[in-house]
Amino acid sequence: MSATGFLAEPAVPAPLRQRARRATSAELAAIPWLGVLDASQRQQAIAQLQVADAEVGERVCRIGKPASYWFGVVDGLLKMSNDDSSGQAITFTGVPPGGWFGEGTLLKREVYRYNIQVLRKSVVAGLPLDTFHQLLEQSIGFNRFVLNQLNERLGQFIAARETDRIGNPDVRVARNLAALFHPLLYPGVGSLLRITQQELAYLVGLSRQRVNEALKRLQQQRLISVEYGGVRVLDLQGLRQYQYP
């Protein structure tokens, strides 16, 4: 194949599932719940796990489609929203590295009530529905992990609802950033989140210029540090409790 042919993007990319592959050792190490399984359960999960390289704009989940996988972000950034629904468009949350989502939908074997869209090139992992339920039946540690996920995400959505009622853009940026640094829901983020101001603007629902102004103020108050290609949190509790002076 010529260099030009190798680099050329296909007119219509193959569906994400058709591009799935086995996870590498480094990718498996970035999946937090594998560590709560015993050796045989972990081997079972790894045999069924698939990962795929997702491009910007691709949909991992679509409203109305049956849930068949439990998905997680190995690397990159996704957006959870209802932008194809008949109601007002709402962005529920971003999903950065280490985040797994959709367990509530899988537990009830329902269709998705939200879209998951790729904001930047990402590596997405998927565990089949049947394997997910088998692990729930077999592993107390896995049950505890999923229960903690549900509990923490409920708290996050309650906080997000409260934030939506706050008109101040600086507070909205601070609270949304804090949510993306949640150590239990998104353990792969650490202290530095790889995100652009435009990507953050998509998640917060503000213009890039307004997000830029908010980031400057948060940095002046030593809550964050804006670095090349991302944002580093310096005071997570301060971000969570931020009030405009």
**Residue range 22-35, pLDDT digits in tens:** 999 999 999 999 99
pTM of the model: 0.86
Q: Give the chain's mean pLDDT.
A: 89
pLDDT of residue 16: 82
Is the pLDDT assigned to residue 76 strictly greater than 70?
yes
Is the pLDDT assigned to residue 167 strictly greater than 80?
no
> Residue 168 — very low, low, confident or very high, per pLDDT cuts 50/70/90?
confident
167-240, which class in CATH?
mainly alpha
Which residues touch 48 (CB under 8 Å, ≥6 apart)? 127, 128, 131
Q: Are 196 and 180 in contact (CB under 8 A)?
A: no
Is the pLDDT assigned to residue 8 strictly greater than 50?
no
> Residue 6 — very low, low, confident or very high, per pLDDT cuts 50/70/90?
very low
Tell me: the pLDDT tens digits for 184-209? 999 999 999 999 999 999 999 899 99
The span from the CA of 173 to the CA of 215, in Å, is 8
**Greater model confidence, 244 or 133:** 133
Q: Are 104 and 157 in contact (CB under 8 A)?
A: no
Of the candidate CATH numbers 2.60.120.10, 3.40.50.720, 3.40.470.10, 3.40.50.1100, the domain formed by 14-162 belongs to 2.60.120.10
- 88-102: burial string, b at 16+ Cβ within 10 Å, e else: eeebbbbbbbbbbbb
pLDDT of residue 13: 64
* Residue corresponding to tokens 């944002």: 231
Domains 14-162 and 167-240 share a fold: no
Domain boundaries, the chain: 14-162, 167-240
pLDDT of residue 85: 53
Tell me: the pLDDT tens digits for 118-165? 999 999 999 999 999 999 999 999 999 999 999 998 888 888 777 777
pLDDT of residue 87: 58
Tell me: the pLDDT tens digits for 38-75? 999 999 999 999 999 999 999 999 999 999 999 999 99
Which residues touch 243 (CB under 8 Å, ≥6 apart)? 171
The span from the CA of 87 to the CA of 240, in Å, is 29
Is the pLDDT assigned to residue 1 strictly greater than 50?
no
